[in-house]
Amino acid sequence: MDMENHLSAETKKKILIVDDNPINLRILADYLEAFSYRVLVARDGRSGIEKAQYAQPDLILLDVMMPDIDGFETCRFLKADETTRAIPVIFMTALSETESKVEGFEAGAVDYVTKPLQQREVLARIRTHLQLRELTENLEQLVEQRTDELETAYRHLSRLDKAKSDFISIMSHELRTPLAVIDGYTQLLQDNTAVTNDEEAQFLVGNILTGTQRMLRTMNDIFDVTRIDNDFLRPYREPLVMQDVLDEVYIKVTPALQKRKLSLVRTGIESLPRIQADKVLLPKLFHHLIVNAIKYTPDGGQIRVVGQFRELPDSAAPIVEIVVEDNGIGIEPQHLELIFEKFYQTGQVNFHSSGTSTFKGGGPGLGLAIARGIVQGHGGRIWAESEGYDEETYPGSRFFVWLPVEPPTI
């Protein structure tokens, strides 16, 4: 045997040979020991199982035809035992029928060699499966390590996310209270300046009031997002008329519509049935959708709110469908899902605006996230459709809202 083969040999690996033929055992053991393998032998299946459990070999060469229990049964026992399940088994067999080979693989073997044995073939197969086992074990360790790292990172991120949500919630509350006080006193000042007819004071107080109300709107949006993130949004359901809900929204957005010379057309709303929904949250939902349409529709454009009653074939409960559509700049296809994520911005940061009417004024990116949270809190669906983004052809966009007429059963 040449020195090169010795130098390339696997060392310290334990091979268990299970064969009832002592001559086969001796020849094969001598051959493998010459390559520095540690060889264990067993003359029958039962002693082979015991040695495998005790010694934990790296690989088992298992004869098929043995007295008492044959190789197939021995292999099945080894694979059923947690302590020996991972040890690769190579069958040694004189059986050449396909069915016998299939039975060996079904029993859990990884390979087979046919008798009379070709020693170099046996060595090659042993090396291959030892390498495969080593690679598998390394991969499993790597996967386990990466899984532990990911779980640790996930727990860390969860703690950070909770800390962030808690901070936002506390700051929102702490800021809303003094802002509400400032807003109240500023309105009193506005009333007084109207009586005194002091135009300069009216201008200054008006700007203070506008800024304060803008901050209050942002704080309220942050508070709503925090409630949604922490699953604290609990709709109080009562019968609502959709036309009344949209009338309430229309009053609030009329100044923005007039400023931008936009028209808002409602179709099919008056014929919708009453739905069970929250009278505070539902106007917020459509306010955010209509304000979004205002921001991305050019001056002189049109916004339509279309409603219809639908009975879906795959749903037991009927729904009302409300579509808010515009002839604005549209949405790129890759943004249709992302726009509902909090703080997501599709435009450039320099177009940022907290106002409700500035064309392409992106805002803080909370409105659509709140809209989605409110819809989901009512057991409904919301999604957007658009032909694409174009500031010349204005393909527009459509926001679909499905709300169950009756509340979902819990």
Domain with 111 in it: what CATH number? 3.40.50.2300
| Residues 248 and 208 grouped into a single domain | no
Lowest mean pLDDT among 137-146, 258-267, 400-409: 400-409
> What mean pLDDT do residues 230-252 have?
89
pLDDT tier, 3 (very low <50, low <70, confident <90, very high otherwise): very low
Q: Rounded to the nearest 5 degrees, what angle is found at the Cα of 118, between the Cα atoms of 65 and 7?
A: 125
The DSSP code for 156 is H
> What mean pLDDT do residues 151-161 have?
85
CA distance 189 to 169: 30
| Residues 252 and 388 grouped into a single domain | yes
Q: Is residue 147 part of a domain?
A: no
How many angstroms separate the Cα of 303 from the Cα of each of 157, 308, 323, 329, 357? 41, 17, 10, 12, 13
Which of 229, 248, 278 finishes a domain? Answer: 229
More confident residue, 64 or 99: 64
Which of 117, 147, 176 finishes a domain? Answer: 117
CA distance 292 to 286: 10
Residue 391, C-beta contacts closer than 8 angstroms, at least 6 positions apart: 329
The DSSP code for 319 is E
> What backbone torsions phi and psi does residue 248 show, to the nearest 5 degrees?
-60, -45
> What backbone torsions phi and psi does residue 259 show, to the nearest 5 degrees?
-60, -35
Q: Is residue 145 part of a domain?
A: no
Q: Is residue 137 part of a domain?
A: no
- Domain containing 82 equals 3-117
| Residues 245 and 390 grouped into a single domain | yes
The DSSP code for 196 is H
> What mean pLDDT do residues 270-285 have?
92
Q: Which of 274, 278, 250 is nearest to 263 (CA)?
A: 250
| Residues 220 and 175 grouped into a single domain | yes
CA atoms within 13 A on the CB side of 175: 18
Q: Is residue 127 part of a domain?
A: no
Q: pLDDT tens digits for 8-33?
A: 444 589 999 999 999 989 999 999 99
Q: Characterize the bridge pairing of strands 397-404 and 319-326.
A: antiparallel
CA distance 287 to 68: 81
More confident residue, 83 or 162: 83
Q: Which amino acid is at 30?
A: D
| Residues 203 and 263 grouped into a single domain | no
Q: Is residue 225 part of a domain?
A: yes
| Residues 215 and 243 grouped into a single domain | no
Residue 40 token pair: 């264990």
Q: pLDDT tens digits for 303-350?
A: 999 999 998 877 667 899 999 999 999 999 999 999 998 777 665 544
Q: Is residue 142 part of a domain?
A: no
Q: Characterize the bridge pairing of strands 38-42 and 111-114.
A: unpaired
Average pLDDT of the chain is 85
| Look-up of token digits 């007429």 | 405
Q: Is residue 129 part of a domain?
A: no
Give residue 348's pLDDT. Answer: 52
Given a cut of 70, whether residue 147 has pLDDT beyond it is yes
**In sequence order, which ranges of 230-280 are alpha helices (DSSP H)?**
242-260
Given a cut of 50, whether residue 351 has pLDDT beyond it is no
CB 215 within 8 A of CB 207: no
The DSSP code for 59 is E
Q: Is residue 141 part of a domain?
A: no
Lowest mean pLDDT among 110-114, 141-145, 263-267, 404-408: 404-408
Residue 108 token pair: 């859990």
Q: Which of 15, 2, 19 is nearest to 123 (CA)?
A: 15
Determine the 3-state secondary structure of 89 from DSSP: strand
More confident residue, 210 or 130: 130
Q: pLDDT tens digits for 176-234?
A: 778 788 888 888 888 887 777 778 888 888 888 878 877 777 777 777 777 777 667 78
CA distance 181 to 183: 5
CA distance 125 to 111: 8
More confident residue, 354 or 188: 188
| Residues 251 and 384 grouped into a single domain | yes
| Residues 302 and 397 grouped into a single domain | yes
Burial 160-196 (b: 16+ CB within 10 A, else e): eeeeeeeebbeebeebbeebeebbeebeebeeebeee
| Residues 178 and 288 grouped into a single domain | no
Give residue 71's pLDDT. Answer: 92
| Residues 250 and 380 grouped into a single domain | yes
| Residues 17 and 78 grouped into a single domain | yes
Question: Percentage of the chain with pLDDT > 70?
Answer: 89
Which of 229, 246, 268 finishes a domain? Answer: 229
Residue 369 token pair: 């996230």
Give residue 399's pLDDT. Answer: 96
Residue 103, C-beta contacts closer than 8 angstroms, at least 6 positions apart: 72
For residue 391, give the CATH number of its domain. 3.30.565.10
| Residues 244 and 337 grouped into a single domain | yes
Give residue 315's pLDDT. Answer: 65
* Number of domains composing the chain: 3
